[in-house]
């Protein structure tokens, strides 16, 4: 089981990582990273008791349309449930 905590993690270091980002104008784009489309995600706060995590991200991804999309100043603040 991997241990994850506050810190910055590279994207694009495993064969395919995929995500979906919704732009401020409501448009969604599904992209993945690879060895030429990379970036990082930074976990700023992790609270296992509240099951909450927040942080930022930025990356260049290749979209399903074959175009490179740049995501900068991304942020997340989410909670999770145990299965």
What's the whole-model pTM score? 0.74
Helix or strand or coil: residue 32? Answer: strand
Report the distance separating Cα 13 and Cα 17, nearest Å.
Answer: 9
pLDDT digits (tens, 9 = 90+) for 58-78: 988 888 778 888 888 989 999
Ordered DSSP codes for 41-82: EEEEEEETTTTEEEEEEEEEEEETTS-EEEEEEEEEEEE---
pLDDT digits (tens, 9 = 90+) for 25-53: 656 667 778 778 888 899 999 999 999 99
């Amino acid at each position: 089981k991997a241990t994850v905590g506050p810190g910055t993690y590279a994207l694009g270091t495993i064969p395919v990582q995929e995500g979906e980002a919704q732009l401020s104008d409501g448009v969604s784009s599904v992209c993945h990273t690879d060895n030429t489309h990379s970036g990082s995600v930074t976990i700023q706060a992790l609270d296992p008791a509240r099951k909450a995590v927040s942080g930022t991200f930025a990356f260049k991804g290749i979209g399903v349309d074959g175009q490179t999309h740049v995501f900068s100043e991304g942020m997340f603040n989410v909670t999770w449930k145990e299965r």
